[in-house]
């Protein structure tokens, strides 16, 4: 198994970060510095370790309130993405998941690939709440269908919870984040989204964080354990 895949599966480093650390001489295989990006290991037999330099690296964790009209990443010509709104020192951090251009609200940002992998690829379920306004009245039948799960994209969405605020406003809680999931689910029951704001993610709440602002976090702020290279 390639060493990049091994460290990624173990939740220690992303594959890209592993290659970066190999180039810096920060990864040891059976006590020897790894110099070849194509190095393979035998899990359970070989010992892979990080050097003290690698362990000393500090990662950035951030909550950002994405404004409407801003891309999470990969903006179109003339458009802006989240990192365009952040100080230059945070230019290399990435989002954990995404919100589409027409949505707003809380999003996690980090340069810790292991943490991002924990939330995106480990199968770990975490709740995210969306405040939604629609173009018609939410009926009991619609609510039941949404809460039970909607067939879309060749699968059925996981059960959700809905808290009604008014006839056309509610909060929906999901434990997964498929592409444009809330919009697609509502389209399936015959209504369209007028406004969509994510107000919580993995235990973190948007609170009074203003649009376009950010708040730095510490690893200890997370409600779940994940391994990093610290």
228 part of a folded domain: no
For residues 14 and 107, give the distance between their C-alpha atoms in angstroms, rounded to a whole number: 20
pLDDT tens string 143-156: 999 999 999 988 99
pLDDT tens string 107-143: 999 988 777 877 877 567 889 999 999 999 999 999 9
Q: Residue 17 sits in a domain of what CATH number?
A: 3.10.290.10
Does residue 90 share a domain with residue 45? no
Number of domains in the chain: 3
Query: Within 13 Å and on the Cβ side, how many CA atoms surround 217?
Result: 20
Which residues are known to be catalytic?
100
14 part of a folded domain: yes
Q: How does DSSP classify residue 64?
A: E
Helix 113-121 to helix 15-24 angle, to the nearest 10 degrees?
160
Whether the per-residue pLDDT at 2 is higher than 80: the answer is yes
> Phi and psi for 96 in degrees, rounded to 5?
-95, 100
Which tokens sit at 196?
A: 């969509």
């Amino acid at each position: 198994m390639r060493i990049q895949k091994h460290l990624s599966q173990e939740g220690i480093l992303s594959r890209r970060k592993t290659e970066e650390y190999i180039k810096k001489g920060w990864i040891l295989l059976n006590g020897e510095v790894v110099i070849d990006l194509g190095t393979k290991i035998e899990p359970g037999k070989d010992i892979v370790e990080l050097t003290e330099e690698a362990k000393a690296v500090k990662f950035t964790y951030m909550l950002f309130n994405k404004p409407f009209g801003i891309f999470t990443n990969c903006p179109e010509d003339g458009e802006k993405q989240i990192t365009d709104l952040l100080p230059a020192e945070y230019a290399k951090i990435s989002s954990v998941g995404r919100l589409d251009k027409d949505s707003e609200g809380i999003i996690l940002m980090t340069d810790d690939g292991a943490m991002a992998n924990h939330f995106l690829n480990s199968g770990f379920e975490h709740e995210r709440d969306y405040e939604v306004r629609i173009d018609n009245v939410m009926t009991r039948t619609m609510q039941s269908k949404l809460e039970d799960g909607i067939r879309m994209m060749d699968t059925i969405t996981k059960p959700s919870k809905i808290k009604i605020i008014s006839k056309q406003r509610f909060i929906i809680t999901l434990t997964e984040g498929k592409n444009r999931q809330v919009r697609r689910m509502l389209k399936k029951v015959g209504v369209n989204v007028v406004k969509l704001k994510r107000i919580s993610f993995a235990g973190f709440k948007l609170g009074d964080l203003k649009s376009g602002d950010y708040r730095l976090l510490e690893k200890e702020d997370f409600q779940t354990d994940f391994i990093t290279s610290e």
